[in-house]
Amino acid sequence: MNALFKTLNDPTRRAILELLREQPRTAGEIAEHFQFSKPTISHHLDLLRQAELVTSDKQGQFVTYTLNMTVMDELLSWLLQFKPSNDTSANL
Amino acid sequence: MNALFKTLNDPTRRAILELLREQPRTAGEIAEHFQFSKPTISHHLDLLRQAELVTSDKQGQFVTYTLNMTVMDELLSWLLQFKPSNDTSANL
DNA sequence: TAGGTATTTAGACAAATATCTAATTATTTC
DNA sequence: GAAATAATTAGATATTTGTCTAAATACCTA
């Protein structure tokens, strides 16, 4: 929970997740979308991977990053505990 | 969104929210649940109030804090954008 | 009004974090 | 094998943040 919030607490990392929502992309493609240096983006990708919000797959020189939403269900559960009057078994 | 994540990115503040989930409490009551000094808790409460995650009401010398979940719906919406296959109109 | 209680404000400080440049590793291609 | 490309690692630095103690403010009560 702590690690998840910590990882999501950065606008660049959240923007990366939103990018990957569309489709998997290589580190370079992701970096192109931002003004930060490649090492900076690489670092953000590393943190996202550590938090298991993305997975990475190396093919030759390219590393493709893919969104992994399973961990976010944790966050969803945490959120829903504050909405006790609702059906928490709703199709999420 | 940024402010919301920033505010939630602290285990003490999240624990305060969980405390207030049960019932409103005064600053002193909240502080009793933690090992931190009262000024530290007061500061956390201030940040929670700024993020509109809680409201405060002063009655005499006591300041009572109450959970305000309306802002969290923003977070919920953000989360659900990553779950496109689901019914986002579910009863939340 | 004096003393006590509840809470916040002010100011300092250590730890965490986001960023950068330079260097390194790994891979492809000529 | 040398050069080029993709990506990461290493190390430095400025900013942000969570915490503390001390002081201030506000309120209550005798």
Cβ atoms of residues A44 and A13 within 8 Å: yes
Q: Which nucleotide is nearest to A39 (CA to C1')?
A: D8
Q: How confident is the model at residue A83 (pLDDT cuts 50, 70, 90)?
A: confident
What does the mean pLDDT of chain A come to?
92
Q: How confident is the model at residue B85 (pLDDT cuts 50, 70, 90)?
A: low
pLDDT score of B87: 47
Q: Which of B2, B74, B82, B85 to mutate to test the interface with A (most CBs of A within 10 A)?
A: B82
Q: Which nucleotide is nearest to A12 (CA to C1')?
A: C18
Q: Average pLDDT, stretch A43-67?
A: 98
Cβ atoms of residues A48 and A16 within 8 Å: yes
Q: Which nucleotide is nearest to A37 (CA to C1')?
A: C20
- Find the residue in A nearest to B18 (Cα): A82
CATH architecture of B2-80: Orthogonal Bundle (1.10)
Q: Which of strand D's nucleotides are less than 7 A from any protein C-beta?
A: 5-11, 17-23, 26-28
Q: Which residue is nearest to nucleotide C9 (CA to C1')?
A: B39
pLDDT score of B75: 94
pLDDT score of A85: 66
Q: Average pLDDT, stretch B62-69?
A: 97
Count of other CB atoms within 10 angstroms of residue A26: 17
Contacts of A21 in chain B (CB under 8 A): 81-82, 84
Q: Where does residue A57 rank: exposed (0-12), middle (13-18), buried (19+ CB within 10 A)? A: exposed
